[in-house]
Structure 1
Amino acid sequence: MTTTKDLDKQARDILKQNDRGGYTIPTKGLYPYQWNWDSAFAALGFAQFDIERAWQELETLFTAQWDDGMVPHIVFHQSDPGYFPGPDIWGGTGPVPSSGITQPPIAATMAHLIYQLDPQKGEPHMRALYPKLRAWHDWFMQWRLDQGAVYITHPWEAGRDNTPEWDAPMERIDPANVGEYERRDTQHVDGSMRPTKFDYDRYIWLVQMGKRLNWNQPQLRVENPFQVADPTMTFTLLRAQRDLLALGEALGLNINGLADDILRLESGAQSLWNPELQSFDARDVRTGEWANCVSNASFLCWYAGIDSPEQSAQLERVLSQVKYGVPSHDPASPKFDGRRYWRGPTWAIMNQLIGLGLEEMNHPLAEKLRATTRDLIAAHGFAEYFDPTDGSPAGGKAFTWTAAVWLSWANKAEGGNNGRD
C-alpha cells in the first residue's frame, strides 16, 4: 500500500527530475521550458524541503521580465525542437527568448507564502523580487483593465486554454491565412485530451498578429479581436496586490498606490458578476456579452478575498455532481467534457487556489476540497489533470505542479509532513 511518506518522496522526486538547473519544466516532452505560473507553484513545492531552491525558481523566472514590466508565460532558456510554437514563432522582445503574452500573476502570492515559512532567509530574496513583482503588477494595471477587471488577449494568458468561456470570441476570428504548421502537443498526449484544431488555428493566428505588432500593447488594444475580461486574471491579480501590500508593509518597502489598485480591482471583480447566471463569469470586452459559464475560475473569489453566498451555492451544487474537486467547467453544461483540458477536468492547482481562499474565510467546504484533492492524487498519481467524475488521469504525467500541490497543500488533509525529510 502506498503511504503518505511514499507519496511525499514521489512528489519531491518529480520536482527534482523536472529541475533543469534554476528552473523547472512542467513535464518532460510535452512542456520542455519554464512556464510562468507553473514555476510559481513549483517554487512553493520546493519550499517544503529546499527553500533556497524555491527562491531560485522565482528569481530565474524574473530574468525574462520585459522592459515594460511584463513577465512572459513561457521562457525559452534552451532550444527544444520538440515544442511548437517556439521562440522564432513568437518573436518576443525580452532579455531572454520568450513568448509575447503573460499568465496569471500568482508569483507574489507564492513568494509571500514562501517568505512566511522562513522570513529571515527570505528577506534578501523578497527585497530583490519586490520591485520586479511591482513592475509586473503595474503593467497589468496600465494595459489590461476593462471596468477594473483584467482582460486577456490570448486564451493561453489565462492558463485555461480551451475553456468554453472563449468559444464566442474565438468564433469571430478568421484564421484563413494562418498557414501550415505542425502541432507537437498531440505527439505527446492523446488528441482527445487537448484543444481541437479549430482552437489551435486561432491560437496561432493570435500569436502571428502579436508578432506582427511587435507585441505593442497600445496597438494590440486597438487591433486584437480577442479581449476577454477574465475571472482568473482578475482574482489572481487582486490577491497578488494584497500580498504585495502585506510584504511591502512588513519590509518597509514602497507601497504607494497599492491600496488604490486593490480598490480598483475589487470594483473590477464585481463587474464580472453575471446576475442571471448568479456567478462570476467572463465578459467579452468587445461586445459586452457574458460567456454564461460557471468555471473553476468563478470560485477563485475567496482566494481574492471576496465572499459570495451565491457563489457558495454554486460551489455546493458543482461539487455534488462530481467525485473529485472542482471541475473546470460546469458538469450540468452540454459543453462539459471530463477529459478535454479545460472543458471539464479537475486541476489540482485550481483546487489549491480555491481551497486556500476557502480556508482563509473558514468556509465549510474548505476541508472537503482539500481532502478530495488528496484522495485524487493518492489514488491516481501526479497527472497534469484528471476526470472529475472517476479520477482517471489525463494529460502529461509526472507533473511538476501536481507534485507541488501535494507537498504544499493537499497532504495536509491527514496531517502529512508536507514533504519535509
Structure 2
Amino acid sequence: MNQQTNPDREARNILIANDRGGYTIPTEGLYPYQWNWDSAIAALGFAEFDNDRAWTELETLFSGQWSDGMVPHILFHKSDPGYFPGPDVWGCNGPIPSSGIIQPPIAATMARRIWEKDRTVGEARVRALFPAMLAWHRWVMKWRLDDRGAVCTTHPWETGRDNAPDWDNTMARIDASDVGEYQRRDTSHVNSEDRPTKFDYDRYIKLVQIGRQSNWDQQTLLSANPFRVADPTMSFTSLRAARDLLALSAALGIEADGLEDDIARLEAGALSLWNDDLGSFDSRDAHSGEWSESVSNASYMCWFAGIDSEKMLDRLRHTLDTVPYPIPSYDPDMPKFDARRYWRGPTWAIINMMVGIGLNDMGHTKEAEQLRAKTGDLISAYGFAEYFDPTTGSPAGGNAFTWTAAVWLHWAGRN
C-alpha cells in the first residue's frame, strides 16, 4: 500500500513531470507519446490548477487532425525507439506522424467541462477549437456507424480497452499467421502478466498492416478490415460528445447544423447495444451480428451518454456492494475475469469518472458519490497507477500515470 501524505500535490506533480511541452505523455517509458483520450483527461486535470495549459493540451491534440477530420489515437511528436509500433509501422500521412486509428472522442466533452470552469478565459479557446471538434464528430458519423447507428471500433486499440473480452470472438477469426517478426516494447516496462497476450498482439499488428495496405482509406477499410465491432465505449462517448457540441454551439451561438439528428441516430444506435439475454449493454460484431456476451465497465457508461437504465443501475449497486474496488473492467462473475490483465478485470479510474459524471448528471447522486468515494479511497491508498486489481486494490501497469492523477484532481479527490 502506498498511502500518500498529499495526493493533490503528488497528482499535480505527475502532470507537470509528464508534460513534454504542449502535450502530456501517459507515463514515462511505457507510453512516450501523446495519446488521444489520455490527453483529453490530462487537460481536465490541468484545468484544476492551470487553465491555460489545459487548453494548450487540447490544441496540441487537434494540431494532428487529418484533413478529413480524423484525430489519431497517437501523435508521435518526437522519435522514441523504445516504443512499438512507431510511425514507421503505421505509415500515415497526417500533419504530425501518427497512428491511423482514433480513440473514444471525449475531447469535446472535456473541452466543455474546462470551459465551464472559466468561461471568460476559455471562450476564445473553445471557439477556435469548435470547428475541429465538429469535423471529428462528422468523421465519426460518416465512417464508424453500423446500420443501426451504433459506433464501431475498427481496432481494439481504438476503444482504449485493448484486450477486453468483447473482442475475443472477432479476434479469433483473424488470421495473423503472416504477421511476421516484431519486438514488443510494453513488456519490457511492466509485468507481462498484466499485459495483452502474444495471440492478441499478433492480431493488433495484423490490423495495422491491413490499414497500411489500404493507405488508411476508410472506404476501402469498410470491406477490407475483418475487425468492426459496435461498442459501448465508442457509442456512449460519441453520443455524449454530440450532446456537448450541441450545448456549446447553443451557448456560443455557433452554427452546427445536423447535430440534433445525429444525436437521435446515435441514441438509437447506443440503445441497440442492449443485449436482453445478458441484461446489459454489450458489444456486437458489425459483420456477423454476434454478441460479445460481455459485461464490461463500458457497459456502465450509459449514463455518461444520457441513457438511463434501471437494470444497469441494479447491476451497479450490486457491484458497489460486492466488489472491494469497483468498477472492474469485466464482471468478476463471468468466466474470463482476470483481476490483473489490463482490460479483462482491473479497475480503471478514467472509466469510473465518466460513469460517475453520468450518474450525477442523471440524478443518481447516491451511486455517483459511492463510486467517487471508493475510487478516491483506492487512489489515495495505492497510488496513481495505470489501473488496479479490483479485489485487492494492488496497483498494476504503469506508475505515476497522467490520467489517474487528472481523475484525482478533477473528481475522485473531491469531498
Tell whether the structures are fold-level matches, with TM greater than 0.5: yes
Q: 1:67 is matched by which residue type in structure 2?
A: S
Alpha-carbon offset, residue 314 of structure 1:
1.6
Alignment of 1:115-130 (within 5 A): 115-130=115-130
Contact in 1 for aligned 2:2/2:383 (Cα 8 Å): no
The letter of the residue matching 2:279 is Q
Matched, 1:409 2:411: yes
1:117 is aligned with what amino acid?
Answer: K
| Most deviating of 249-258 and 401-410 | 249-258
> Partner residue of 2:313?
312
CA contact (8 A) 1:4 1:411 kept: no
Q: Alpha-carbon deviation of 1:5?
A: 7.2
In structure 1, C-alpha distance between the alignment counterparts of 2:180 and 2:360, rounded to whole Å: 48
Runs of 4+ in 1 over 6 A off after TM superposition: 1-5
2:290 paired residue number: 289
The 3-state SS of whatever aligns with 1:320 is helix
Is 1:100 matched up with 2:91? no
1:373-396 CA-to-partner distances (Å, cap 9, x unmatched) read 000000000000000011000000
Q: Where do residues 248-267 of structure 1 align in structure 2 (5 Å cutoff)? A: 248-267=249-268
Unaligned ranges ≥5, structure 1: 415-421
User: Contact 2:161–2:343 at 8 Å: present in 1 too?
Assistant: yes
Structure 1 position 3, deviation (Å): 8.8
**Alpha-carbon offset, residue 315 of structure 1:** 1.4
Match of 2:208 in 1: 207
CA 1:2 to 1:102, structure 2 compared with 1: closer, same or farther past 3 Å?
closer
CA distance in 1, matches of 2:351, 2:241: 16
Equivalent residue, structure 2, for 1:196: 197
1:57-76 alignment, distance < 5 Å: 57-76=57-76
1:418 matched residue in structure 2:
none
Aligned mates of 1:167, 1:317 — CA distance in 2 = 26
Consecutive unaligned residues in structure 2, runs of 5 or more? none
Q: In structure 1, what is the Cα distance between the partners aligned to 2:272 and 2:281? A: 9
Aligned 1:148-187 pairs, distance under 5 A: 148-187=149-188
Deviations 1:314-333 (A, max 9, x none): 21223333111200000001
Which secondary structure does the structure 2 equivalent of 1:68 belong to?
A: coil
- What pairs with 1:133-148 in structure 2 (closer than 5 Å)? 133-146=133-146, 147-148=148-149
Q: 1:2 to 1:399 in 2, by over 3 A?
A: closer
Matched ranges for 1:16-35 at <5 A: 16-35=16-35
Q: How does 1:23-62 map to 2 (within 5 A)?
A: 23-62=23-62
CA positional deviation for 1:46: 0.1
Distance 1:274 1:205, change over 3 A: same
**Amino acid aligned to 1:70:** M
TM-score by length of 2: 0.98
Deviation track 1:237-287 (CA, whole Å, cap 9, x = no partner) reads 100000010001011101210010000001001110101011110000111
Letter of the aligned partner of 1:321 in structure 2?
T
**Identity across aligned pairs (percent)?**
66
* Secondary structure in structure 1 of the residue aligned to 2:151: strand
CA separation in 2, counterparts of 1:243 and 1:274?
27
Match of 1:376 among 378, 396, 414: 378
Deviation at 1:2, TM superposition (A): 9.2
What residue number does 1:386 align with? 388
Task: Report the Cα offset of residue 4 of structure 1.
Answer: 8.0
Letter in 2 for 1:224: N
The aligned runs of 1:204-353 (5 Å cut-off) are 204-353=205-354
Aligned length: 413
Q: What CA deviation, in whole Å up to 9, does each residue of 1:285-317 have, x standing for no partner? A: 111010011100000000000000011112122
In 2, the alpha carbon distance for the partners of 1:4 and 1:388 equals 20
- Measured in 1, the distance between the counterparts of 2:5 and 2:359 equals 26
Alpha-carbon distance between aligned partners in 2 of 1:373 and 1:262, rounded to the nearest angstrom:
30
Q: CA RMSD in A?
A: 1.2
Supply the distance in 2 between the matched residues of 1:288 and 1:355 (Cα, whole angstroms).
30
